[in-house]
Every structure is written in C-alpha cells, then in structure tokens.
Structure 1
Amino acid sequence: MTANMPSHTAPGPLEVDVCIVGAGPVGATLACRLAADGLKVAIIDRAALPPMEHPAFDGRAYAIAAGSRRLLEEAGVWQRLPMESCDIREIRVTDGRPGQPPSPLFLEFGRGDADQPFGAMIEARALRVALNASLHATPGLHVFAPDEGVVTRSPDGAVIRTASGRVIHARLVVAAEGRRSPLREQARIAVTRLPYNQCGIVCAVAHERPHEGRALEHFLPAGPFAQLPMAGTAEHPNLSALVWTESEKVAHRLADLPHDAFAHEIRRRMGDDWLGAVNPVGRRWVYPLSAQYAQRYVDTRLALVGDAAHGIHPIAGQGLNLGFRDVIAMADILGRVHAGGGDVGAADVLRRYQARCRPANMLMLVATDALERLFGNDNPVLRLARDVGLATVNRITPLRRGFARHAMGL
C-alpha cells in the first residue's frame, strides 16, 4: 500500500470525497482529474501498479481521441508520458475483401477537416507509466495497491474497509473495475450482453514506407481491419498498430501462424501496399469481442464508469474514449458540486451524471453494433449500399467534418 500522506502507527479513518475501485486507465484518470480539481480521492486496486507498466514493447496501443487527450492533459497524465505519441492526421475508410484491392468508393478524413489532429496513438505501457507517476504525485490522492476493499453503502455515505486494515469514509464510491464489476453486481444492477462470437487480433508491424500520420479502417466480410500510426523507434522507424476482427476459431488460428505466414495474412488484409513491405513485431494478442450495457449507472452512493457501465464493439476504436467521456462528465459535475460545497454523492448529483452519459453511450453502442452488422458481411446489395454511403459522406464536407468532430470527442 502506498499513499500520498504521512505514515502513522495507528491511522484513524481516512475521509475522502470519492473512493474509486479499479486503477485501470479510466479509474486512474478519474482519480487524477478529480484530485486536480481539489477533491480528496482514494483509489484501490487488487493488483500492484508497477507490474502493469510492461517494460518491453508488446504491440498494444491506445487510440486517444482529441477530447480524451485534453482530459489526460488536464489530469496531469499526458505530460508524464515517457515516450512520444503519434498524431493521427488522416483517416481513410475503405471496403473490400482479403487479397483484393479496396473499393474505389471510400471516405477520407483529411487535414482540412479539423483544426487539430483527430487523435494520437500511444503505447499501452507508456500510458500506464504516466498514470502510475501521476497517481503518486498528485496531492490529495491516496493510492491503495495492491489492496482490496469491502464497501458498505448507506444514504449517508460509504465505508470501505481495506484488506490492509485501513478504513475509508467516502461520500461516493465509483466502480471502475471493468466488465465484470463486483460492485455493480453487489448493487444488483442488471447488464444486457450482446455476444459477437468474434475475436480481435492486436499486434504491431514495422513497414517499409512512412505512414505520415494516416490511419486505415478497412472493412472486410469477417470484420474491420484497422491500421493505426505509431511513433517509430530506433529499431523500427516506421511502425503501426493493427487491430482486426475475425471469427473466434480463425482469429486463434491466425495468431498462431509462423512469422512469414502471419505477415502474408496481414498483407492480404491491408487493401493495398501503400506502406510497402510489412513485418510483424512484438507479441500477438487475441481478445473476445462482445458488447454490453448496464441498465443504470448509479445506485445509493455508487456510480459506474468505463467498462463497468458499458462495452462496445471496437469497430470505431471508441471503447476507451467512451470511458474517458464518462470521466469528463463526472469530473465536470462533481467539480461544480464540490466547488459549491455540495455533496458529491447525493442522489440528484448521480442522476445528473447518468442523464448526461447513458443516452449518448447507448447511441454509440447502437451505432457500433449497426456498423458491425452492416459492414461485417459479404452481401452484394449491402456492399454496394455501404460503398455508396461512404462516398456520399466523403463528398459532403459539412457532414464529413461533423462525423470527424464527434469521433474526436469535441
């Protein structure tokens, strides 16, 4: 256990405004953002934080939308990234089949569609290092990890008793524990799940030619194939992250292929050879894909954020950014209540948080589910309709820019 406070032989109860359970990217960012606004915050995670940093490159990365980047800057996290990020300055959306050129009808978001980069790619390990540093450097923020807490909630507040023997009194408990949130289950908040029977393959590739900040979303019958630009290294000056969807059996079979065969399958899905020769580097990861949503985000002295509240298909790369939007909303609402001397865990405050987040999150879930069903098939009629749709949006500048701004979280 570590905490930004003097140690005492027999410390009394720790009084905080908010206790966050779960120190993943969403929970840790929320803790730093609330503390930056002057709230007293405790965060608990059953895992030790340093092992999460993964000192070796492992191929995993996050696409951080422009609005999420602003949040990380305000939380003091972005400034602590130990390595460079890579701006996403162009996004091309295409449709096709493996081993064939993409459809000539496409959608492209270019540099003239926004006054700033659409987002940035950062390595997963870099964000973890920055979050850990921020958690321990932010005044008013107490970190308990590795540790666990037993939460008792009442209309007057919450009491958290940690396995390390500490008692924490909080006005609000935030569940940031992920899709299988024990606090959500304890509150008997029902969850609806949508299985896709698909897996996402995640890895990185070095390539012959520079990406120049361009990302690719190439829709294939089995699901989307995304290439995301990353900052290069001394060993691999031209580097990109890949995320693509396949059926469960095919995904595991592909991930187990020898190096050259795996590289061949990547080339078949790139649509064209604009990056030149590609060479897989780092580890390969396979994740099962599903969507889910909680029927409500709040209970007595409890709020859900991130994957505890919602999970969507990665087709638009919005999963983590959707969690960060929860953080933005909660920080805005709680910051105003705290500044006015109010109770940050009061029922009307939590209702405002749910009203602000849940409808927008449900729209995103419905949109990504519809996109997966529209693009994840080889029906010739639907192929023509979606290709014409992409080209139509591409030609209507205000519509294209509106889509871009929404995806940026601005």
Structure 2
Amino acid sequence: MDNPEWARILRGMEQTSDILIVGGGLNGPALALALAQTGHSVTVIDALAEKVRKNAAFDGRAYALALASQRLLDAIGVWDRVAEHAQPMLEIKVTDGHAGSGPSPFFMHFDHAEIEEGPMGYMVEDRHLRRAFLDAMAEATGITEVSGRTVVAQDCSATGVTLTLDNGRTLTGQMLVGCDGRRSGTATRAGTKRSGWDYGQTALVCAIEHDLPHHGVAHQFFMPPGPLAILPLTGNRSSIVWSERTETAQHINALPEDEYLQVLRPRFGDFLGDIRLQGDRFTYPLNLTIANSFIGERMALVGDAAHGMHPIAGQGLNAGLRDVGALAEVVTLAGRRGEDVGSVLVLERYQEWRRFDTAALAMATDVFNKLFSNDNPLLRIGRDIGMGIVGSLPGLRRGFVREAAGLTGDLPKLLQGRPI
C-alpha cells in the first residue's frame, strides 16, 4: 500500500449507484429518500461539507410547505423529524395598498376550514428541514453521501453516466439528476439552454419576533415596488419575504438594524404589535428562469435547476417536490417493468408530466407580479374589484384554497400520501 501508483488508482476507483444526484439541499435528499424506499441505490453529491449544512445557524429562511408537500415528507420519513417545528397555516389574507397608508378595503381571505383535508400548509425553517433530511439519509439503506466535493465533469452516454469530482474520483450510474439550483452546473455541462428574464426586483428576507400572536395567519400585502409576505413561524415569530426594486433593496439591506426596522415598520403595520429582528437578514435577486428541456441523455433536472420563479406565491419548493414525486414515480414504475430507468423513453414521461404544469405556474406568478407590482390607477381598480369578487364567492375561494394546499392537478402518489 506504500506504492504511490497503487494509492492513486485507489483514490480514482469508481463507485457505482443506480442514480447519481448532484445537489444536497432539499430536493436532492427528498428524491434520494423517495428512490431508496423503492430499492434504488443513490449517491448524493454536494459541494458543502455535511457539518456546514447540518449545523447552519438560524438565518431567517423558512419555507411555506403546501399540504401536498407535507404528505410527501411524511411518506419519505422526514415529517416526524420536523413536525414539532412546523407552524400550520390556517388562513391567508391578501391585500393591496401603499406603505404607511394601510390596505385597500378590497381583499381576499382564505380559510383552511373551507376544505376537509386540514391546514393549507405549514411553515418550516430551513435549518430544521436540512437537518432532518441529513439525518434521514444517514439512516436510510441505499444512500451514499459525498460532501464537500464538486463535480468538474460529466459524461452521459448510451451506456451510463460518469461523474468526475474535483479530487479526481469518479462515480458511475445509470442516470444523473441535477438538483443544483438555478445556476445548475449539471444543466450547463449538458448544454441545456434556459429562457427567462430579470424582474429588476430583489427579495429582502428576514425573521421577526412580534408582541402579539399571529394565530397561524399568513399575509400577502401587494405594494407598487413588490409584495410583502408575512408568514407565521412557531411562537410569536414570522418570516418576511419583502420585494423591492433592486437598487432600493440593496440600500435597505445595508442599513443598521434599527434603520432597517424603521423602513419595514410602515410596510408591516402594527397589527402584531412591536417587531424585532431575529437572526440574520439577506437578499436574493428575483428572476424567471426555465430550462428549455428538463431532460437530456440519461439526465433529468429537478427543482430550481429546471425552473426558478418569482416567490410571490411561495411555490418554489412545492414545485420542486412535485418534480421529486413525479420523477421517483416514473423511475420506480419503469424499473419494475424492467425498463432502463435512464432511457429517453422513461425520462420523457417525467418531462411530459411536469413541464406544462411548471411553465403554467411560472407564467401565472409572472403575470401576478406584473399586475400587482405597479401603481397604475386603472389596474389598481381592476385588481381590487377582482379581489372583492373572489373573496365574495365561496366556490372560487375554495378553489384557491385547494390550489394553495397543492391538491389540484395530476398529483404524484407521494404527494397524495400514498406509497409508490
């Protein structure tokens, strides 16, 4: 073993799994767990060390999980690990107006009591979700994790997939899945083109503590520069996703904490009493980006690697988990039929299932943002009347509630709470 040449060969020795997943954030581990449950061997590669991902301090980030997404997490063994940290969303109130002048008298109010299934969704902090996924993967059979390494090359051919890592190690599999975000290296290396545009908006994200209880009510307040979402967390805390013009957002984020709150308070209002920042605050630019194809030779894209959209409806992670459910179901059923799970015929089924739905959702969020992020008086009158009509019709309200809960459309089995 002292032979340098032999040591070099061992370091570069290939390790094989059925499916290689690049990206260990949320969608990648969810897909790995779903596939491992049905007997597939999976390797998950992430550039960050596991210690960094697992021990991340609270930074204000949280996700609105639709009821259908909660069902998927339950089906893959993750929900019980985060349930105590989850805040049910019982109502959603949507209003329109200007900072400091209060909302329009026309609004939309959605209550979970209008459906039989339960809360529309849950708010869960990023730090709890990531830790739960890592713990679940560590205990699962058939999942190998490679942390702290980046992929520098990929070769997808008719016979299989080979990945080369930055330390020279190679991994092989039948299929490659990119869960590596909007700037997906997997998609780039495959030559996948993207379509989309920049919104000229930046989201300011933080968490706040407030004096009064939120009672599980989520608020969406539309202002001319962009929407402000106030999303309930456990305790007297809420997550803030606040969109402003990019130049304004950069200026606000650079302010000291007390001045930052002075800007936020007139937008937030006083309905929850005094507010205080909790944890870090950060920004991210808002754009629309959709891969022209969700698949390539022995490759599929999932989540933001396939489609990144405006957070106006809080559907980013939910859309990614629908991808997870669809791809896991397509691959599992194909494997049971004895098909090559990485073949184009199998992957096309995934793309046909998900591409139209995600494109429609992306366009809907785009139109909604453009309709509300302006101060055109005619548009204001039209949207206020529209909100008043929706709010007064039980059938329309119920439809919106079911949509918010993720219960519409062609749902994969895991999002119905059923095993594949």
| TM-score bucket (shorter structure) | over 0.9
Residue of structure 2 in register with 1:34 after alignment:
35
Instruction: Supply the RMSD in Å over aligned alpha carbons.
Output: 1.7
The amino acid that maps onto 1:262 is: Y
Name which of 210, 221, 225 aligns with 2:213. Answer: 210
SS in 1 for 2:175: strand
TM-score by length of 2: 0.90
Q: How does 1:208-357 map to 2 (within 5 A)?
A: 208-232=211-235, 238-270=236-268, 272-357=269-354
C-alpha deviations, 1:22-80, integer Å up to 9, x for none?
11111111111111222111111122122023443221111111111111122222222
Residue of structure 1 in register with 2:3 after alignment:
none
- Structure 2 CA distance for partners of 1:216 and 1:82, relative to 1, 3 Å: closer
Q: How does 1:76-155 map to 2 (within 5 A)?
A: 76-81=77-82, 84-115=85-116, 116-149=118-151, 150-155=153-158
- Structure 2 CA distance for partners of 1:11 and 1:197, relative to 1, 3 Å: closer
Residue of structure 1 in register with 2:6 after alignment:
none
C-alpha deviations, 1:208-230, integer Å up to 9, x for none?
11001000000000100000000
Name which of 154, 173, 177 aligns with 1:174. Answer: 177
Q: CA deviation at 1:125?
A: 0.8
Residue of structure 1 in register with 2:413 after alignment:
none
SS in 1 for 2:35: helix
- For residues 167 and 261 of structure 1, what CA distance do their matches in structure 2 show? 51
C-alpha deviations, 1:71-103, integer Å up to 9, x for none?
112222222238511011100000010001211
- For residues 23 and 324 of structure 2, what CA distance do their matches in structure 1 show? 13
Q: CA deviation at 1:14?
A: 3.1
Residue of structure 1 in register with 2:4 after alignment:
none
- For residues 337 and 273 of structure 2, what CA distance do their matches in structure 1 show? 57
Q: CA deviation at 1:339?
A: 2.5
Higher alpha-carbon deviation: 48-57 or 215-224: 48-57
- Structure 2 CA distance for partners of 1:11 and 1:56, relative to 1, 3 Å: closer
- Structure 2 CA distance for partners of 1:85 and 1:353, relative to 1, 3 Å: same
Q: Are residue 409 (structure 1) and residue 406 (structure 2) matched? A: yes
Are 1:82 and 1:126, in contact at CA under 8 Å, matched by a contact in 2? Answer: no
Q: CA deviation at 1:144?
A: 1.0
- For residues 195 and 106 of structure 1, what CA distance do their matches in structure 2 show? 28
- Structure 2 CA distance for partners of 1:47 and 1:340, relative to 1, 3 Å: same
Residue of structure 2 in register with 1:44 after alignment:
45
- For residues 82 and 88 of structure 1, what CA distance do their matches in structure 2 show? 13
Q: CA deviation at 1:162?
A: 3.5
TM-score by length of 1: 0.92
The amino acid that maps onto 1:305 is: V
- For residues 54 and 206 of structure 2, what CA distance do their matches in structure 1 show? 17
- For residues 121 and 50 of structure 1, what CA distance do their matches in structure 2 show? 24
% identical equivalent positions: 40
Q: CA deviation at 1:407?
A: 2.3
- For residues 55 and 355 of structure 1, what CA distance do their matches in structure 2 show? 37
Higher alpha-carbon deviation: 128-137 or 222-231: 128-137
Are 1:43 and 1:144, in contact at CA under 8 Å, matched by a contact in 2? Answer: yes
Are 1:39 and 1:338, in contact at CA under 8 Å, matched by a contact in 2? Answer: no
C-alpha deviations, 1:170-219, integer Å up to 9, x for none?
11100111111122122211111210111000011111110010000000
Are 1:83 and 1:126, in contact at CA under 8 Å, matched by a contact in 2? Answer: no
Name which of 389, 392, 395 aligns with 1:395. Answer: 392
C-alpha deviations, 1:297-344, integer Å up to 9, x for none?
111101111111111011111111111111111111112112233221
- For residues 398 and 191 of structure 1, what CA distance do their matches in structure 2 show? 38
The amino acid that maps onto 2:133 is: L
The amino acid that maps onto 2:126 is: A
The amino acid that maps onto 1:205 is: I
- For residues 245 and 139 of structure 1, what CA distance do their matches in structure 2 show? 42
- For residues 327 and 11 of structure 2, what CA distance do their matches in structure 1 show? 33
The amino acid that maps onto 2:63 is: Y
Are 1:205 and 1:280, in contact at CA under 8 Å, matched by a contact in 2? Answer: yes
The amino acid that maps onto 1:259 is: E
- For residues 357 and 337 of structure 2, what CA distance do their matches in structure 1 show? 27
The amino acid that maps onto 1:157 is: G
Name which of 358, 370, 379 aligns with 2:355. Answer: 358
Residue of structure 2 in register with 1:6 after alignment:
none
- For residues 112 and 47 of structure 1, what CA distance do their matches in structure 2 show? 42
How many residues end up aligned between the 2 structures? 396
The amino acid that maps onto 1:14 is: Q
Structure 1: segments with no counterpart, 5+ residues: 1-8, 233-237
Q: Are residue 185 (structure 1) and residue 188 (structure 2) matched? A: yes
- For residues 338 and 13 of structure 2, what CA distance do their matches in structure 1 show? 24
- Structure 2 CA distance for partners of 1:254 and 1:337, relative to 1, 3 Å: same
SS in 2 for 1:81: helix
- For residues 163 and 220 of structure 1, what CA distance do their matches in structure 2 show? 46
